[in-house]
Amino acid sequence: MGIAPVTSVKAASQDVDYIVCSLPKTDVVDSVLREDGGIFENASEGTCIVDTSTISPIAAKEFSSEAVERKMCYMDAPMSGGVMGAQNGTLTFMVGASSEEDYEKAKVVLAGMGKKFFHCGGPGTGEIAKLSNNLILGIQMIAASEGMVLGEKLGIDPKVLCDILSVSTGNCWAVSACNPRPGIIPNSPASKNYEGGFQTALMRKDLALALSCAEEVGAQTKFAEDAVDYYAHLEKKGHGGKDFGYVFQYIMKDFKV
């Protein structure tokens, strides 16, 4: 499609208008930005760095400040919508930007991947929105799994149950979009041996990051604390690469954290 691959961060960062990052955790983003041969050292003044990673909001603010010192702009723009949203180009982006002008710059490149965009506020606020979302999502998946396991063990057809849930008050993303019970949604990770979804290890990371932030501000997170134990245990058992809906299998087998 006319894109020339390169073999280093340095080469990718030089003489470009935009740099888009999507990396697994804060220290990796830090390294790519600040290391010798990294983005900050090699990008030109005026470069717009759009980081779609889910990382610490505190670190995002620091990266933004350093970018300003180098006459660049850095925006945190984490995304939501899952694997299907990525494949369909319908992701939602939560953008932390210093100004409306910077936000509009970010939207130019994000529009190639998503359909909904929110200017959450200043640097770091995109990450705050994403961590809040994933805290809810991590708990939601466990709740949906527990309810579906209960129904199936009591004897209702799981497909009938999920059809009912999808149009009832128990409906949620974990029921209707990424159902963790294999065979309910043909294209969901659960129906593909929990491959190709949002990894359990990443959900554990996001919940742990949310809990760390919650501790700093004194927010109550009892359900999230219980949820992170599930995902951490799954990761320790070697299932960190599976979609986080894999928690359904452990609940089905009467697994206890």
CB 39 within 8 A of CB 13: yes
- Other beta carbons less than 10 A from residue 17's beta carbon: 12
Q: Which of left, alpha, beta for 26 (phi over 0: left; psi -120 to 50: alpha)? A: alpha
Domain residue spans of the chain = 9-122, 129-252
**Domain 9-122, second-level architecture:** 3-Layer(aba) Sandwich (3.40)
Can 159 be counted among the known catalytic residues?
A: no
- What per-residue confidence (pLDDT) applies to 256? 58
Let me know if the fold of 9-122 is the same as that of 129-252: no
Q: Write down the pLDDT at residue 183.
A: 96
pTM, whole model, 2 decimals?
0.92
What is the spatial distance between Cα 144 and Cα 53, in angstroms, rounded to a whole number? 26
Q: Which two tokens stand for residue 55?
A: 């990382």
Q: Which of 61, 130, 205, 242 is catalytic?
A: 130
Distance CA 179, CA 197 (A): 11
Parallel/antiparallel/unpaired status of strands 79-80 and 91-96: antiparallel
Model pLDDT, residue 146: 96
For the record, the structure tokens of 60 come out as 């995002």
pLDDT of residue 255: 61
pLDDT at position 3: 86
The tens-digit pLDDT sequence of the chain (257 residues) is: 898 899 999 999 999 999 999 999 999 999 999 999 999 999 999 999 999 999 999 999 999 999 999 999 999 999 998 888 888 999 999 999 999 999 999 999 999 999 999 999 999 999 999 999 999 999 999 999 999 999 999 999 999 999 999 999 999 999 999 999 999 999 899 999 999 999 999 999 999 999 999 999 999 999 999 999 999 999 999 999 999 999 999 999 876 55
Report, at the CATH architecture level, how domain 129-252 is classified. Answer: Orthogonal Bundle (1.10)
